[in-house]
A and B are shown apart, each in its own frame.
Chain A
Amino acid sequence: MKPMTMRYGRYTTIVVFGLIIAFPLLYLLSGSLMSFQEISQYPPKLLPSELVWQNYADAWEYLTPRTVVNTFIFVISVLVLQLAICLPAGFALAKIPIRGTGFLLAMFVIPIFLPANLTLIPTFIVTLELGLVGSFAGLILPVVGHASLGILLFRQFFATFPGGLIEAARLDGAGWFRTFFSIALPLAKPVIASYSVVTFLTAWNMYIWPLVAAPGPDTRVLTLALAPLAQGDFSNISPAVSFAAAVVAMIPVLLVFVLFQRWFTRGIVGSGLE
Chain B
Amino acid sequence: MTDTRATQRIVTRSGAGNTPRPAGRRSHRFDLVAAWGMLTPAVVMFFTFVIVPALVGIALSFTEWDFFTPPVFVGIDNYVRLFADPDMWQALGVTIQYVVLGVIPTVLVGFMLAVLINANMPGVPVLRVLYFVPVVLSVAVSAVLWSFMYDPRQGPIAALLRLLGLPPVDFLNSEVLALPSLVLMMIWLALPIVIIFYLAGLQRVPEDIYSAAALDGAGTWRMLWSMTWPNVMPTTLVVVVLQIINFVANSLDVALIMTGGGPLGATRSLSLLAYEQAFSFQDVGYASALSIFQLLLIVGIVALGRILGSRSFR
List, in ascending order, chain A residues with CB within 8 A of B245's CB.
113-115
Q: Which of A89, A201, A232 contacts B151 (CB 8 A)?
A: A232
Q: Judging by beta carbons under 8 Å apart, are B145 and A176 in contact?
A: no
**Distance of A164 Cα from B12 Cα, bound (Å):** 9
Interface membership of B20, Cβ < 8 A: yes
Q: Taking the complex as formed, is B13 at the interface, i.e. its CB lies under 8 A from any CB of chain A?
A: yes
B174 adjacent to chain A (CB < 8 Å):
no
Contact of A121 (CB < 8 Å), options: B4, B31, B134, B291: B291
Complex interface: chain A residues within 8 A of B147 (CB):
230-232
Closest to B238 in A: A272
Please name all residues of chain B whose beta carbon is closer than 8 Å to the beta carbon of A229 when the two chains form the complex. Answer: 144
Q: Check B258–A21 contact: CB distance below 8 A.
A: no
Measured between beta carbons, the chain B residues less than 8 angstroms from A13 are 116
CB-based contact A180/B145 at 8 Å: no
A residues near B24, Cβ cutoff 8 Å? none
Which residues of A are found within 8 Å of B163, using beta-carbon distances?
A: 43
Chain A min CB distance to B303 (Å): 11
B274 within 8 Å of A by Cβ? Answer: yes
A120 at the interface (CB under 8 A from B): yes
State how many angstroms separate the Cβ of B2 from the closest Cβ of chain A.
Answer: 13
Quick one: which of B219-242 are within 8 Å of A by CB?
Answer: 238-239, 241-242
Q: Determine chain A's interface SS by DSSP, over half rule.
A: helix
Contacts A230-B140, A269-B200 given; does A89 touch B30 at CB 8 Å? no
**Interface flag for A246 (CB, 8 Å):** yes
| Chain B CB within 10 Å, residue with most, of A40, A43, A207, A273 | A207
A-B contact pairs, 12 of them (CB 8 A): A14-B117, A28-B145, A88-B39, A120-B271, A121-B291, A125-B67, A162-B7, A164-B14, A229-B144, A230-B144, A243-B144, A269-B197
Expressed in whole angstroms, the minimum distance between the Cβ of B33 and any Cβ of chain A is 9
CB contact list, B25-60 vs A, under 8 A: 30-32, 34-39, 41-43, 45-46, 48-54, 56-57, 60
Chain A residues close to B by CB (< 8 Å) = 7, 10-11, 13-15, 17-19, 21-22, 24-25, 27-28, 31, 39-40, 42-44, 84-86, 88-89, 91-93, 95-98, 104, 107-108, 111, 113-128, 141-142, 144-148, 151, 159-167, 170-171, 175-177, 180, 201, 204-208, 212, 222-224, 226-227, 229-232, 234, 239, 242-243, 245-246, 249-250, 253-254, 256-258, 261, 264-265, 268-269, 272-274
> How many angstroms from the CA of A195 to the CA of B147 in the assembled complex?
32
Our count of residue pairs bridging A and B at CB distance below 8 angstroms stands at 326
- CB nearest neighbor in B for A252: B136
Q: A98-B35, A269-B197 are in contact. Are A249 and B11 (CB under 8 A)?
A: no
Contact A18 B130 (CB under 8 A): yes
Contact A122 B57 (CB under 8 A): yes
In the assembled complex, the Cα of A243 lies from the Cα of B148 at a distance in Å of 9
Q: Is B310 an interface residue (CB 8 A)?
A: no
CB distance from A94 to the nearest CB of B (A): 9
Question: CA–CA, A92 to B128, complex, Å?
Answer: 38
Contact in complex: A145, B136 (CB < 8 Å): no
Kindly state whether residue B141 has any CB partner on chain A within 8 Å. yes
Q: Whole-angstrom distance from the CB of A149 to the nearest CB of chain B? A: 11
- Residues in chain B near residue A126, CB distance under 8 A: 48-49, 52-53, 56
